[in-house]
Amino acid sequence: MDFPYAVFEGVYVFSVLGCMVFFGLNFYHLIKFGFFDFTGKLITVLVLGIFAVTILFTIIMLREVDWTSNETLFDNTLDDLPFQR
């Protein structure tokens, strides 16, 4: 069974988008209710920085992957079972 690498990519991108949405909701609440002070700004910048570094490292570590290729998870070992003859 061939497993395309692009599935991983799709799941990852979808998850990152979900994380961004959740981050945005938290950030919105911090600003809307008027407590976006120095501490709020510091923590927000810190977390955004960590996000950027994490995604950057991920891109660097996976930059040579050919996302259009597949990997065979199960070869044809089941074809030669005795009861199938």
Partner 1 sequence: MTTPVFPNQRPNEKVLLKLRRHWLTWAWNIIQLLLFNLIPPGLYILFYQLIGWPVPTEGLLYIGLVLLLSLYYLGAWLIFYHAFVDYHLDVWVLTDQRIVNVEQQGLFDRTISELNILKVQDVTSEIHGHLQTFFNFGNVYIQTAGEQQRFIFQNVPHPEDVARIIIHANDIALQKNGHPENLAA
The residue ranges that bind partner 1 (CB under 8 A) are 3, 5, 8, 11-12, 15-16, 19, 22-23, 25-26, 29-30, 33-35, 39-40, 43-44, 47, 50-51, 54-55, 57-58, 61-62, 65, 71, 73
CA dist 23 and 21 (Å) reads 5
CB of 18 to partner 1, least distance (A): 10
- Please list, residue by residue across 54-66, b when 16 or more beta carbons sit within 10 angstroms of its beta carbon and e when fewer do: eeeeeeeeeeeee
Q: Is the Cβ of residue 71 or residue 80 nearer to partner 1 in the bound state?
A: 71
